[in-house]
Structure 1
Amino acid sequence: MTQPIFKAERVAVEDEYYIFDLDATVVREHVYYPTRYGVEIAADLYYSKDLDKSTKHPGLVVGPPFGGVKEQGPGVYANQLAQRGYVVVAFDPASHSYSGGQPRYTGSPDTYLEDFSAAVDFIGILDYVDRNRIGALGICASGGFALGATAQDARIKAVVTSVMYDIPSLAGMPTGQDRADQLEALSLQRWADLDNKSSEVKPHYPSQAAELGSTMPDGFPTLPEFYDFYATKRGWHPHALANITEVSNLSFMNFQINSYWNEISPRPTLLITTKTAHSRAFSETAYEQLQEPKELYIAPAADHVDFYDRVDLIPFDKIDAFFKENLK
């Protein structure tokens, strides 16, 4: 019996909203493909206008920060890397933005890992992509998911993380009574969702561009630099207002995404962070868990979110050299 696909909403040209300008030398196409769970993913495919489609090229799949969308950081990276000769897929995770899946904003470590493998499925069947030369790149939370996907998907030949977060490890930090209290509250939230016939999700950022501010209000439930990106004209997107439904946190509290990172070897890893990024410890911890070949690259001072969109700070030459060497 054929399983149904949760259809993505097809974006119209007049509804497109990107936080960056597409380079004049780059082509961007909207593409749609299923995960192994039958959920349709919405993604953007980037490649150079002068790409020779009669031969095969290396491919890259790029995932967004937690709650982010392809029109933000992933598109920034894809736009730059396409100019360097890669065929790049930047995707919306299942149940987020233009990708299908219900309830909206549902998340689990397993589905986030599958998002990467589904992107590999898609890019690997393109006639002009060499399926033996596919790499993954994850920004922020997708850095941890990219490593997790690489650990279970041998088709990913090299992986880069940029200012990574390990969300499952972060969610699993509470112990004892603190953990018990969280489990109790989230378990009861399942009853509330059933009673309300909707899944509780807490938006963090303004839903309308007209409501954007320049200074974070007192008591705002996020770090100032996240506000500076997601709640201002710099990075705001109407589909990037929240992270995941409340009950989704149960999955993260009970998932060890880093259990097999040491088995990524001999495939190479490059972990990129900055000297002053608040997330730096996640990259350093992951580096200790990985086996050679591995590299930890600590860039000069920059905020965590600067590596979402600041093309003058993100070390694209370093990323390009890593993939060129390891996707030969």
Structure 2
Amino acid sequence: MKFKLKALTATLFLGSSLLGANAMAQLPQNATAIEMPAQSIQLTQEWDKIFPKSDKVEHRKVTFKNRYGITLVGDLYVPKGATGKLPAIAVSGPFGAVKEQTSGIYAQHLAERGFVTVAFDGSYTGESSGTPRNVPSPEINTEDFSAAVDFLGSLDNVNRDEVGILGICGWGGFALNAAISDPRIKAVAVSTMYDMTRVAANGYEIKMEANPKGPYERAPAQSADARYKAKLDMSNARWEASKDGYADLLPANNLDPKKDFTAETPKFIKEYANFYRTERGYHPRSVNSNPEHSWTVTGMLPLINMPILKYASELKAPALVVHGEFAHSRYFGEDAYKALGSKNKELYIVPGANHTDLYDDVNGKIPYDKFEQFFKANLK
């Protein structure tokens, strides 16, 4: 097997080298080089988070690249006065949010408890680079977590053998996927998680009730015909989108909690709007907050067709799955927990909490003690 692998590598290398040489030989003498303009990144220096700055941590903006060459921007939090090499945690999410919102809240709290943390914006969103803007990708967003691990492991005050990750909402699925693919990740926790590829392919597998009295009831997944129609519509939209570099955006989220709610509006939609579209959680760089932002028209295509968590049973790292008792998304966490192969895993249900209760500290539902205990027990 070792010989075959070396032979395959040599063949691929030789083939690509010859291809490159032949291609260069065939270039016409009047070939024109095309210069691609570089994307400039403007970093906000003032504190513009939705939460107050802690006096227990040191904070600074950082940048690092993923293996696709996209520059990611993060907020690094370090326990004030800490010495020696510390355990570290990379944090991101929710899907469509920015580091100035939920992930920053988690990162700062965990830094207060002794961890070096980085809350980062995923590729194509927030202050991170990547064009066109607001593009989701199951592969690249999984890679973003591994790139954050690369960054943390390069710091002098971090023990690279004690690095974990934490994903929130849609980035919970990407965090689990990253931990499955990257064995350097020593522990993974998720909070109020979604599997974005599952919801893109199947729709919401719950009854869309306006006011459920208890946990949401399950409902059948979207049919293959409905999935085909969605892919057909997005694929046909590529003709026009390609003329503008695939930058065309879907209609923006402009649901106004003060005037747009009706008796038929599903409860969890109201919960989202009451976070992202009010002073509680609004941030202008968030796809979910800004009525002028949205995802690209063709952005959900790979989420439908390229499921993550296929190898969940092969996860070896310790895993903590935290979800709210009354969260519409609870089934994502419960099903992921069942599928994970980790011998050390726990499902923790927060009593009385809905999905967005675990986004911030307004309702006091985020179980920081649980996250601290999990990471301190497993990052060592």
Q: TM-score, normalised by structure 2?
A: 0.79
- Is the Cα contact below 8 Å between 1:205 and 1:231 reproduced in 2? no
Which residue in the other structure is 1:277 paired with? 327
Q: Does the C-alpha gap of structure 1 residues 197 and 119 become closer, same or farther in structure 2, counting only changes over 3 Å?
A: closer
Q: Structure 1: state its 5+ residue gaps.
A: none
Which residue in the other structure is 1:192 paired with? 240
- Is the Cα contact below 8 Å between 2:123 and 2:144 reproduced in 1? yes
Given the alignment, which residue of 298, 305, 310 partners 1:254? 305
CA shift at 1:197, angstroms? Answer: 5.0
Q: Does the C-alpha gap of structure 1 residues 86 and 11 become closer, same or farther in structure 2, counting only changes over 3 Å?
A: same
Q: How does 1:47-86 map to 2 (within 5 A)?
A: 47-52=78-83, 55-86=84-115
Give me the whole-angstrom Cα distance separating, in 1, the residues matched to 2:77 and 2:40: 19
Which residue in the other structure is 1:327 paired with? 379
CA shift at 1:293, angstroms? Answer: 1.4
Which residue in the other structure is 1:34 paired with? 65
Give me the whole-angstrom Cα distance separating, in 1, the residues matched to 2:312 and 2:223: 24
- Is the Cα contact below 8 Å between 1:138 and 1:164 reproduced in 2? yes
CA shift at 1:27, angstroms? Answer: 1.4
Q: Does the C-alpha gap of structure 1 residues 87 and 279 become closer, same or farther in structure 2, counting only changes over 3 Å?
A: same
Q: How does 1:281-320 map to 2 (within 5 A)?
A: 281-291=331-341, 292-310=343-361, 312-320=364-372
Which residue in the other structure is 2:49 paired with? 18
Shifted more, 191-200 versus 230-239: the winner is 191-200
Q: Deviations over 1:259-302 (max 9, x none)?
A: 1111112x110000011111111010001101221100001111
Which residue in the other structure is 1:223 paired with? 269
Amino acid at match of 2:371: I
- Mapped pair 1:145 → 2:196: no
| Identity of matched residues, % | 41
- Greater relative contact order, per chain length (Cα 8 Å cut-off, separation 6+): 1
Q: How does 1:195-210 map to 2 (within 5 A)?
A: 195-196=243-244, 199-202=247-250, 204-205=252-253
CA shift at 1:246, angstroms? Answer: 2.1
Give me the whole-angstrom Cα distance separating, in 1, the residues matched to 2:236 and 2:122: 26
Which residue in the other structure is 2:21 paired with? none
- Is the Cα contact below 8 Å between 2:257 and 2:270 reproduced in 1? no
CA shift at 1:19, angstroms? Answer: 0.5
- Is the Cα contact below 8 Å between 1:165 and 1:279 reproduced in 2? yes
CA shift at 1:189, angstroms? Answer: 1.0
- Is the Cα contact below 8 Å between 2:58 and 2:79 reproduced in 1? yes
- Is the Cα contact below 8 Å between 2:319 and 2:346 reproduced in 1? yes
Report the count of equivalent residues: 318
Q: Deviations over 1:195-229 (max 9, x none)?
A: 355522235445xxxx9754544598981111001
Q: Deviations over 1:162-212 (max 9, x none)?
A: 000001011122333212211110001111212355522235445xxxx97
Q: Does the C-alpha gap of structure 1 residues 5 and 30 become closer, same or farther in structure 2, counting only changes over 3 Å?
A: farther
Q: Deviations over 1:64-95 (max 9, x none)?
A: 11100000001000110000000001000011
Give me the whole-angstrom Cα distance separating, in 2, the residues matched to 1:308 and 1:215: 23
Amino acid at match of 2:72: I
CA shift at 1:120, angstroms? Answer: 0.5
Amino acid at match of 1:246: V
Q: Does the C-alpha gap of structure 1 residues 91 and 40 become closer, same or farther in structure 2, counting only changes over 3 Å?
A: same
Give me the whole-angstrom Cα distance separating, in 2, the residues matched to 1:223 and 1:230: 11
Q: TM-score, normalised by structure 1?
A: 0.91
Give me the whole-angstrom Cα distance separating, in 2, the residues matched to 1:230 and 1:113: 24
Give me the whole-angstrom Cα distance separating, in 1, the residues matched to 2:80 and 2:131: 36
Q: Deviations over 1:220-245 (max 9, x none)?
A: 89811110011000001101134531
- Mapped pair 1:131 → 2:160: yes
SS of 1:157 mapped into structure 2: coil
SS of 2:272 mapped into structure 1: helix
Give me the whole-angstrom Cα distance separating, in 2, the residues matched to 1:11 and 1:22: 18
- Mapped pair 1:45 → 2:96: no
Amino acid at match of 1:290: L
Which residue in the other structure is 1:241 paired with? 287
Q: Structure 2: state its 5+ residue gaps.
A: 1-35, 203-221, 289-293
Which residue in the other structure is 2:15 paired with? none
Give me the whole-angstrom Cα distance separating, in 2, the residues matched to 1:192 and 1:61: 37
Amino acid at match of 1:60: I
SS of 2:300 mapped into structure 1: helix
Give me the whole-angstrom Cα distance separating, in 1, the residues matched to 2:42 and 2:248: 25
Q: Cα RMSD between the aligned structures?
A: 2.2
